[in-house]
Amino acid sequence: MKDIDWSNLGFGYIQTDKRYVSNYKDGQWDEGGLTGDATVCLNESAGVLQYAQTVFEGLKAYRTVDGRIVTFRPDLNATRMADSARRLVMPPFPEERFIDAVMQTVAANADYVPPYGSGASLYLRPFLFGTNAVIGVKPADEFQFRIFCTPVGPYFKGGAKPISIRVSDFDRAAPNGTGHIKAGLNYAMSLYAIEDAHKQGFSENLYRDPATHTYIEETGGANFIFITKDGKLVTPKSTSILPSVTRRTLMVVAEKYLGMQVEERRITLDEVRSDVAECGLCGTAAVLSPVGRIHDHGTDIMLPAGMEKMGPVCQKLYDTLTGIQYGLIEGPEGWVREVK
């Protein structure tokens, strides 16, 4: 294993030995393979540079309690990336090949998969972008698919300590139906808002639905789950948020493993103010991060059950989710896939 201070890793980029590359030209993907070259060389007028024709994914590999290396539900990332690609007029990378490329990338960088118990994991970043020159507003017709990986620790500074977030007046996604895909342009549009939130002392933005600013959507990098005072899990239903793999997983964990009632529906800040006991941000990077305070235009919504540490229900969800990922708890068929 590499000589890295695993327990003190933040969420940053550390270059590893190998990455996967495949190119698309003349209507087909080439056979693809691993390379040591971390540099991408592009024409100045490449579609990705001019019109931001790029989508990405995020998933992790884990070292389990018994020393195996596993990935978690990569099929869902493969499908979501194909959906994202189609929306930006790019050829999807075939889903079976996506999974194979993930496995090859992890296996080739096995020395970078953090040890069990360090709190760190190996984050994989598949991405796809237009490479040939375009100057009129139109899609490219040559593309590159790549996957690199980097060992990471907690996404939010302070590890498991609850964070403060603020209701944002900026919109993350335009009300034109791109918020549900993982396109670089959505994240570019959130950079100003995240810098502004940090300057004001908040870790993230709570975005509301862009059309009416009435319903809670998500943050810049994670979906919401709320635990009501009567113990239900409520999570926003919206066509303009990213369909989080972690959220879909937690809904199953809550219902099937913890016997909770789960509701996917619209939810307002007023309901959070009166009926919610715990709030968490869920995502591959965020895992399940507790929110202690939501600042809403001069007033604060405090979530006492999760202000000093993660609330009790979020803690159970977190323990079950990570228990499955790290091999302590048996997951449903097909969720955990071993890297050989």
Contact status: 288 vs ligand PLP (CB under 6 A) = no
Contact status: 92 vs ligand PLP (CB under 6 A) = no
For residue 47, the Cα-to-chain-centroid distance in whole angstroms is: 24
Of these, 218, 225, 290, 335, which contacts ligand PLP (CB under 6 A)?
218
Contact stretch for ligand PLP (CB under 6 A) within 8-16, 63-71, 240-248, 324-332:
240-248
Could you write out the three-class secondary structure of 273-300? HHHEEEEEEEECCCEEEEEEEEEECCEE
* Lookup result for tokens 């978690």: 72
- Retrieve residue 98's tokens: 């996506």
Please report, for residues 76, 83, 111, 242, 243, the alpha-carbon distance to residue 248 in angstroms, rounded to integers and kept in the order given: 10, 17, 30, 11, 8
Active site residues: 182
Of these, 102, 181, 242, 276, which contacts ligand PLP (CB under 6 A)?
242
* Lookup result for tokens 């790029």: 54
Nearer Cβ to ligand PLP (24/145): 145
Residue 223 touches which member of ligand COI, ligand PLP, none, C-beta under 5-8 Å by kind:
ligand PLP
Beta bridge partners of 296: 299
* Lookup result for tokens 């793999």: 245
Nearer Cβ to ligand COI (152/305): 152
Nearer Cβ to ligand COI (284/325): 284
Residue 218 touches which member of ligand COI, ligand PLP, none, C-beta under 5-8 Å by kind:
ligand PLP
Q: Which residue is nearest to ligand COI (CB)?
A: 58
- Tell me whether residue 265 is exposed, middle or buried, using C-beta atoms within 10 angstroms of its C-beta: 0 to 12, 13 to 18, 19 or more: exposed
Contact status: 315 vs ligand PLP (CB under 6 A) = no
Contact status: 126 vs ligand PLP (CB under 6 A) = no
Contact stretch for ligand PLP (CB under 6 A) within 129-137, 148-156, 241-249, 301-309:
241-249
How many residues line the site for ligand PLP (CB under 6 A)?
12
Q: Which residues bind ligand COI (CB under 6 A)?
A: 58, 221, 283-285
Question: Which residues lie below 8 Å from residue 51, measured CB to CB, with a gap of 6+?
Answer: 130, 134, 137
Residues of the shown chain interacting with ligand PLP in the complex, contacts defined by CB under 6 A: 58, 218, 221-223, 242, 244-247, 283-284
